[in-house]
Structure 1
């Protein structure tokens, strides 16, 4: 719609009216620079079809190409700006940048459109009005584009409803399924593969290393290169395998980027401004074969004619490139500007360099994508992943990388979580629900202390209680694995994992001998049983013990976790329960499950078309990625020096983990309704078995459990929810001798109650 409006405003008929207005009021506009600036801004989208307005056809073509370049910049630049910038701001910046660049091009080479405007070239008097007019036009177009696309972001995405727990009290079991990451999709969703076999989530993350460049970079830059930071736990994930594949994927991409950098340098040295034109030609070629599929229940591959259309469009792009080179070379310009525009030697070297660079870049990207597709099919499908779980390094790795990989593997088997910041539950996702149970430790025969006790109850320690709860949960898991119970969801308990885990803040481990690791840079990842018991018996400070219970479901794609913290204060027993659910990883990471057998001709056509879509991004980003990859060791050395200095100088140096590999890949929505159901069943079963084990333990030690049972009943009663209808509760009498009188409202008609309590009919 915006392009149609610009085409209309820039048409010869509308421009003639604007130009006549400008001539009629030229004297007044000359004295009012602000108004003149707005009027001149309306001339920017001008285009013509007749050469009589210009001195030759080549000037007409050059002017229309500038207008086309302006339109292309307005459409393409906003999508090329960083995604973290708000949409409306990207639209405004894209419009302003496109307008300013086109006017700067006109200022640098005015001979392209008007041979009589040679005096404009690099004129300071002309530059000011041109830039101001460009800013006005770009700002207006950008704001209009932002308004027209304001609803696209909301309508094109899946709406999600997040319901978070209020306060710190008890949460109704029926409501827990709505808390956290559960989503309510409002758009049609395509079928998505889901995990089913053990280890699927590790396989998905390993595949993500090759299909998502950002994920692999984050794992290496934020986890592997952070030698001073602890490694966050990732239940159900083989972290070492994921890190190995991320390093291997970066090496493969680096080899591709080296070739692309060569093509980029060739074009930049031949004609720098042809880099922009090359992007336009590539987008024109790509858009020719794109036809949105009407299928909403599955994915389709492009037909053969899509490749034919793309090839024909590429041929026209070749002819257009040589024609543009010839037109630009016909305009006299200084040597430096001629090099920028590639106007020397009739523009042939610039056109050839652009076409060769694009062809080579496309071939390189296709070869890389075919290699990744072959690697995924042969090593990362469900049937092949077990044979080669870790990637084989292509070249020897630096020693610090090998040491860090060993530290990651050690942390995976550890029982300590060193966290950073306020929340200790890194690696387990956000808290889905939590509640506190407080039980007074009174003798079983005297809950209120009014009678003499014949014997004191047997004292116990938190260690004994935790051991009893652990045994009860492990027994329930064994029964579920053997199929000895018909309880809903009990079969999944066969994969239940119960472990003691210590949570400690990263700013408090310095100087604490309990957390002194083998390396002077990172704290210990595993504590002895004696140290864990000491922390369990004295829960003070920032180091706390939790009995961590988690069950990998759906191939580890959904992991409900229940963290149990037991403590005694005087004659009171406390139980803190935190429920977490790691949801599935991003749906795009599941795409490896779509690969079945060898690459078919239809799938190959789809790969060829997809390669066109990201060739430009890969080509223009290659030099920066190559530079960053080459500087990894140097940046790591500088960071290590600074971190060691901070360790010596800062007594509150933070060793805590700040990111979790598993949470990096967390999807904003579930992929199947029953993933939520299964997670709820598991957490409810773990909670119920935990409470039953506590009741058994207290009963066997001679403690009163009346208050404990009442709190259990309160938890169950919290789940009574009425939806719709009318509920009338009469007067209630509570206590000995209390009475209640019920007054019934008078009703008329057949529904009126009789004195006997029945109907009058």
Structure 2
């Protein structure tokens, strides 16, 4: 290795600060709780998110229903697995909106359940006939494509409607059963009309919330977490899970998963190293003893001043500088476990143990210490991390800087609600198209919501027969739905431009400490501006 400058060989990795959450990705993820699009859009944003178990298409949830249910189960259920930090967002706000959306739907489902009891359960034979027709219609529509895809399904509904008219005009029995059979196929239709009004009102509310969240208006409230009576164990348990969520988000423990990089920060795209022999300055007999922590503290002091430049030309915002403990996990690991014991508190390693790890754990097993500087940019869309590791092996000091960048939330979760339309042929000019407005809630959607409503009181059963969303593990709200920042010109530029100032600050602080302790710093001279370009550094060229 060159004795005069940083090299570009693969090195260790590092985590960086978990500073203030940006509003844009928080709003995008929170809006997912209110969306009424198909759940396929969510799984397309991350193929590792799987939707499975649907037995009946009439019970399949939409994106908002599946997302809200999955997030609440994953982040608020007692005994759940640990969560990866979500840098650049406020996880609590996202969970709050999931709870709020679920509460709106629960109120709708209560009304729909009452309608179902009055107009469907009491006339169960007719209801089953109609549901069978709708289920057959959905199956046929799924198998056919093209302009005539819905014709066969329409014929099925038409046949049932003819039977309903026949039973209404000429019932097969007399007396009480005559009246019953007059209504058996008509009452579900009346129930459908009532349900349609309920569904449309709720759909408008959910879409208003969807738009409002993206516009940054208001925050969701969670009255379920406030005890309404003494010994309200459910509310107390929910409050404890919120406290746990906050403790995990603020933990100083991170996890390195091979080529995935640091979970929650993205893959490592760059690494720069300075490694030289520690020798006393000429004329001195020995080096004054010092430890890695002394170098780390000096670097920390320099990094906190990155926003102070000699010229008033903008530049870095206030950096978030933190000490991290990094634990290695397998690239295919499906869970994480933070260190436990007397050296930890509230999912974080205590300061004295962080200092010990920095000074002593440079080789072999055990977690490693990293000092990170983090910039949350573009209203939270870009989280740029540069992490520093200091190690001493025999008489060689190595200072290593690693770069990680987390890009914006998937574009599939950033759009607002739009009117439902479709293109049809013009009446007298079939070679031309015109756009027609569709109902906010169509016939099939009213049936789906009405059939699901009674089952929402038994969510575990609904998961089994309607299907459920399995979130990618180890799960973190931000990195699970993130796109690469390298497709955005300015994001890519800013990620690369941050490297040189940080490297020079780290170098200056290191040399200062070495000089104060009698080390010959001639070999630690920094050459020209280091090359900064993104790459797959954790592939090691293999």
- Structure 1 residue 550: Cα displacement: 1.2
Whether contact under 8 Å (1:206, 1:245) holds in the other structure is yes
Q: 1:203 & 1:442 partners in 2: Cα distance?
A: 54
User: Higher strand proportion, which one?
Assistant: 2
Task: Say whether residues 1:270 and 2:125 are aligned partners.
Answer: yes
- Structure 1 residue 544: Cα displacement: 2.2
Task: Say whether residues 1:682 and 2:498 are aligned partners.
Answer: yes
Task: Say whether residues 1:374 and 2:197 are aligned partners.
Answer: no
- Structure 1 residue 401: Cα displacement: 1.0
Task: Say whether residues 1:546 and 2:370 are aligned partners.
Answer: yes
Match of 1:199 in 2: 23
Match of 1:703 in 2: 519
Choose from 310, 313, 322 the match for 2:161: 322
Q: 1:705 & 1:436 partners in 2: Cα distance?
A: 16
- Structure 1 residue 675: Cα displacement: 2.6
Note the alpha carbon deviations across 1:449-507, whole angstroms, 9 max, x for none.
Answer: xxxx544344322111111211211111233xxx8355xxx62x214211112234655
Match of 2:303 in 1: 473
After superposition, residues 441-520 of structure 1 pair within 5 angstroms as: 441-443=278-280, 445=282, 454-479=284-309, 484=311, 486=313, 491=315, 493-504=316-327, 509-510=339-340, 512-515=341-344, 517=345
Task: Say whether residues 1:245 and 2:84 are aligned partners.
Answer: no
- Structure 1 residue 580: Cα displacement: 1.8
Whether contact under 8 Å (2:256, 2:327) holds in the other structure is yes
Task: Say whether residues 1:365 and 2:180 are aligned partners.
Answer: no
After superposition, residues 131-210 of structure 1 pair within 5 angstroms as: 170=9, 198-210=22-34
Match of 1:175 in 2: none
- Structure 1 residue 409: Cα displacement: 2.2
Q: Name the SS for the 1:476 alignment partner.
A: coil
Match of 1:10 in 2: none
Query: What is the TM-score of this pair, normalised by structure 2?
Result: 0.65
Change (3 A) 1:258 1:437: farther
Whether contact under 8 Å (1:548, 1:562) holds in the other structure is yes
Change (3 A) 1:358 1:693: farther
Change (3 A) 1:404 1:547: same
Whether contact under 8 Å (2:33, 2:68) holds in the other structure is yes
Q: 2:441 & 2:242 partners in 1: Cα distance?
A: 34
Note the alpha carbon deviations across 1:486-540, whole angstroms, 9 max, x for none.
Answer: 5xxx62x214211112234655735x3212x4xxxxxx32344323212211226
Q: 1:319 & 1:240 partners in 2: Cα distance?
A: 49
After superposition, residues 68-107 of structure 1 pair within 5 angstroms as: none
Change (3 A) 1:366 1:257: same
- Structure 1 residue 705: Cα displacement: 4.7
After superposition, residues 206-221 of structure 1 pair within 5 angstroms as: 206-211=30-35, 212-221=64-73
Match of 2:276 in 1: 439
Unpaired segments of 5 or more residues in structure 1? 1-167, 173-196, 292-313, 336-342, 446-452, 518-523, 600-604, 633-656, 720-761
Q: 1:508 & 1:198 partners in 2: Cα distance?
A: 26
Note the alpha carbon deviations across 1:294-344, whole angstroms, 9 max, x for none.
Answer: xxxxxxxxxxxxxxxxxxxx99998664215468999xx9x9xxxxxxx99
Note the alpha carbon deviations across 1:364-398, whole angstroms, 9 max, x for none.
Answer: 3321121123334556623x34xxx4524268552
Q: Name the SS for the 1:475 alignment partner.
A: coil
Larger RCO (CA under 8 A, 6+ residues apart): 2
- In our comparison, the structure showing a higher alpha carbon Rg is 1
Whether contact under 8 Å (2:371, 2:389) holds in the other structure is yes
Match of 1:355 in 2: 189
Task: Say whether residues 1:573 and 2:397 are aligned partners.
Answer: yes
Match of 2:354 in 1: 532
User: Higher helix proportion, which one?
Assistant: 1
Whether contact under 8 Å (1:257, 1:622) holds in the other structure is yes
Match of 2:16 in 1: none
Change (3 A) 1:689 1:278: same
Query: What is the TM-score of this pair, normalised by structure 1?
Result: 0.48
Q: 2:181 & 2:8 partners in 1: Cα distance?
A: 75
Task: Say whether residues 1:425 and 2:262 are aligned partners.
Answer: yes
Note the alpha carbon deviations across 1:56-88, whole angstroms, 9 max, x for none.
Answer: xxxxxxxxxxxxxxxxxxxxxxxxxxxxxxxxx
Choose from 458, 469, 473 the match for 1:627: 458
Match of 2:249 in 1: 412
Whether contact under 8 Å (1:463, 1:536) holds in the other structure is yes
Whether contact under 8 Å (1:427, 1:663) holds in the other structure is yes
Q: 1:171 & 1:395 partners in 2: Cα distance?
A: 48
Whether contact under 8 Å (1:325, 1:346) holds in the other structure is no
- Structure 1 residue 234: Cα displacement: 1.7
- Structure 1 residue 403: Cα displacement: 0.6
Change (3 A) 1:248 1:280: same
Q: Name the SS for the 1:559 alignment partner.
A: strand
Note the alpha carbon deviations across 1:139-159, whole angstroms, 9 max, x for none.
Answer: xxxxxxxxxxxxxxxxxxxxx
